């Protein structure tokens, strides 16, 4: 049994051990400088003017209309899959932009590698979203696909190229989108190799899905095709390829613009998934909630990969563009990422998931600050019933929640490093010439703040210490000598 005598094992920084009997207990000494540091845990958007300028630059209101359009009322997951497919389509345009770059000093080789990796990562996420969609009995079979049964044996004469072929008793309509840029990239000498790799990636990643995307992939299994042009609406999407500042004579303008359109598309997907996680936790559907949480974790990692693309931009051209666009940071609260209302909102929603832990554990928060949640978590971790799906699903969703926190903090840490490389350390620190060790800039506060799940953290700490005693090991003592 796990020792739940939490009072005897309370973490203390001030009370010394007076008895040898307590030498095997867990002690943590907190440095005075850390205690004095004021770590603000709130995150807020930049000024309204900065946010409005950012949205205008990326044409976000128009993009948002495309993401949120409800063209298929019976398809409940349209709000998740549509913007993810549109992010993928914008990535195809990004490939065209990079390969059309006339600058002789552009690092085309690394750009190609990064964009291939980014595109493959998005295809993997889309395949996972489709698999989850089909595993849910409430949403299965609602996606708009194209085959003889849905078209009543008639082939459309416009919108895509189509062919009918049969394999035994199965007749399949195989279509290749005419509005998407990927089939065109496959016929362009500069991009032919990249496009073929992407098409094979679609073929491989979609093998567990009931249908494929219909972008020209081999479709060796003869699956039905998603009605890609109707869902993604590539023509309307590519009508937004030019920014309001397209008159600026700087090729880096297009790469920055396209990078952030892809980023914001996935931020919107993340927002929709977070809403779904909340609904599923409230419905006690922990298995599906955990699956969604791990998708959110992957999206945070994808967002970091998208931000890393800035590292390939030419330093002089990027800094010149920054001045041409009159982008300035008045203080650290105006950091560039805080101009994205969607990103700030997603960050807040991820942090608010901590309030779901008591509900998952079936306990109420002790108004006196007692360790009810911690004890319930320790019991769940250590005394889970063998063969109990409910206990396993609870553990899975709790682990997934902490995985989101980890990915979120890694994103902001990596983002700060990107700022340092792009613009120098002074800009990354919010133009503070002198930075105190006791005051963090707004970006650092995000990844330095305490865990969002202190009860889960404490439960694992004391569970590990208890198991250490059970196996005859010495107690863990963590301390720091006074300087």
Whether residue 322 is predicted with pLDDT greater than 70 in this model: the reply is yes
Q: How is residue 328 written in tokens?
A: 């300035």
Q: Going from the N-terminus, what domains does the chain have, and what CATH number goes with each?
A: 40-59+253-474 (1.20.58.480), 68-242 (no CATH)
pLDDT in tens, 418-450: 999 998 887 766 655 544 545 567 888 898 899
- Answer yes or no: is pLDDT of 359 > 50: yes
pLDDT of residue 273 exceeding 90, the answer is yes
Average the pLDDT over 346-359 and give the result: 96
Residue 331: pLDDT above 80? no
Burial 308-340 (b: 16+ CB within 10 A, else e): bbbebbbeebbbbbbeebebebeebbbbbbbbb
Confidence class of residue 105 from pLDDT cuts 50, 70 and 90?
very high
pLDDT at 18 over 80: no
Q: What is the pLDDT of residues 51-101, one digit of tens each?
A: 999 999 999 999 999 999 999 998 989 999 999 999 999 999 999 999 999
At 440 the pLDDT is: 66
Is residue 20 scored above 60 in pLDDT? no
Given a cut of 90, whether residue 314 has pLDDT beyond it is yes
Residue 463 confidence (pLDDT): 86
Report pLDDT digits (tens) over 201-219: 999 999 999 999 999 998 8
- What's the pLDDT score for residue 148? 44
pLDDT of residue 387: 58
Mean pLDDT in residue range 238-249? 93
Q: What's the confidence (pLDDT) of residue 371?
A: 87
pLDDT at 245 over 50: yes
Residue 277 pLDDT > 50: yes
Per-residue pLDDT band at 38 (split at 50, 70, 90): very low
Q: Quick one: pLDDT band at residue 28, thresholds 50, 70, 90?
A: very low
Q: State the pLDDT at residue 39.
A: 47
pLDDT band, residue 41 (cuts 50/70/90) = low
Lowest-confidence segment of 20-34, 60-74, 312-326, 457-471 by average pLDDT? 20-34
- Provide the pLDDT for residue 309: 98
Q: Please report the pLDDT score of residue 170 as a whole number.
A: 58
Using pLDDT thresholds of 50, 70 and 90, give the confidence band for residue 315.
very high
Q: Per-residue confidence at 119, pLDDT binned at 50, 70, 90?
A: very high
Residues near 337 by Cβ (< 8 Å), separated by ≥ 6?
343, 412, 415, 443
Average pLDDT, the chain: 83
User: Is residue 134 very low, low, confident or very high in pLDDT (cuts 50, 70, 90)?
Assistant: confident
pLDDT confidence band for 2 (50 / 70 / 90): very low
- So what's the pLDDT on residue 465? 82
Share of the chain above pLDDT 70, in %: 78
Task: Give the whole-number percent of the chain exceeding pLDDT 90.
Answer: 61
pLDDT higher than threshold 70 for residue 123: yes
Task: Name the more confident of 125 and 366.
Answer: 125
């Amino acid at each position: 049994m796990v020792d739940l005598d939490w009072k005897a094992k309370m973490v203390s920084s001030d009370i010394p051990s007076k008895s040898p009997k307590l030498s095997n207990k867990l002690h943590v000494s907190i440095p005075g400088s850390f205690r004095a540091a004021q770590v603000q845990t709130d995150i807020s958007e930049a000024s309204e003017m900065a946010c409005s300028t950012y949205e205008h630059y990326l044409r976000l209101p128009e993009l948002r209309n495309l993401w949120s359009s409800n063209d298929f009322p019976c398809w409940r997951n349209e709000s998740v899959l549509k913007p993810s497919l549109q992010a993928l389509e914008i990535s195809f345009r990004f490939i065209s932009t990079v390969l059309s770059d006339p600058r002789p000093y552009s690092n085309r080789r690394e750009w190609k590698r990064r964009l291939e990796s980014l595109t493959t990562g998005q295809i993997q996420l889309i395949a996972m979203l489709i698999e989850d969609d089909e595993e849910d009995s409430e949403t299965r079979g609602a996606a708009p696909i194209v085959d003889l049964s849905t078209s009543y044996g008639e082939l459309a004469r416009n919108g895509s190229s189509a062919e009918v072929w049969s394999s035994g008793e199965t007749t399949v309509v195989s279509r290749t989108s005419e509005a998407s840029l990927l089939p065109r990239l496959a016929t362009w000498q500069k991009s032919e190799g990249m496009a073929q790799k992407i098409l094979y990636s679609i073929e491989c990643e979609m093998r567990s899905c009931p249908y494929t995307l219909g972008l020209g992939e081999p479709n060796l299994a003869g699956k039905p095709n998603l009605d890609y042009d109707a869902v993604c609406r590539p023509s309307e999407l590519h009508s937004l390829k030019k920014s309001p500042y397209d008159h600026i004579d700087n090729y880096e303008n297009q790469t920055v613009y396209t990078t952030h359109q892809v980023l914001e598309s996935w931020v919107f997907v993340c927002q929709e998934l977070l809403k779904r996680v909340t609904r599923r936790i409230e419905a006690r559907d922990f298995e599906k909630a955990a699956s969604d949480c791990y998708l959110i974790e992957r999206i945070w990692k994808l967002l970091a990969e998208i931000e890393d693309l800035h590292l390939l931009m030419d330093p002089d051209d990027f800094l010149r563009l920054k001045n041409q666009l009159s982008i300035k940071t008045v203080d650290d609260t105006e950091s560039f990422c805080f101009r994205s209302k969607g990103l700030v909102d997603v960050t807040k929603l991820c942090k608010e998931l901590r309030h779901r832990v008591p509900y998952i554990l079936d306990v109420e928060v002790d108004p006196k600050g007692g360790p009810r949640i911690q004890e319930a978590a320790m019991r769940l971790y250590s005394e889970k019933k063998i063969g109990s799906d409910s206990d396993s699903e609870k553990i899975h969703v709790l682990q997934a929640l902490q995985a989101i926190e980890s990915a979120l903090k890694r994103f902001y840490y990596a983002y700060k490093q990107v700022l340092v490389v792009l613009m120098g350390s002074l800009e990354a620190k919010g133009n503070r010439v002198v930075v105190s060790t006791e005051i963090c800039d707004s970006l650092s506060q995000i990844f330095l703040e305490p865990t969002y799940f202190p009860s889960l953290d404490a439960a694992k700490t004391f569970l590990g210490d208890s198991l250490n005693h059970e196996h005859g090991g010495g107690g863990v003592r963590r301390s720091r000598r006074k300087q």
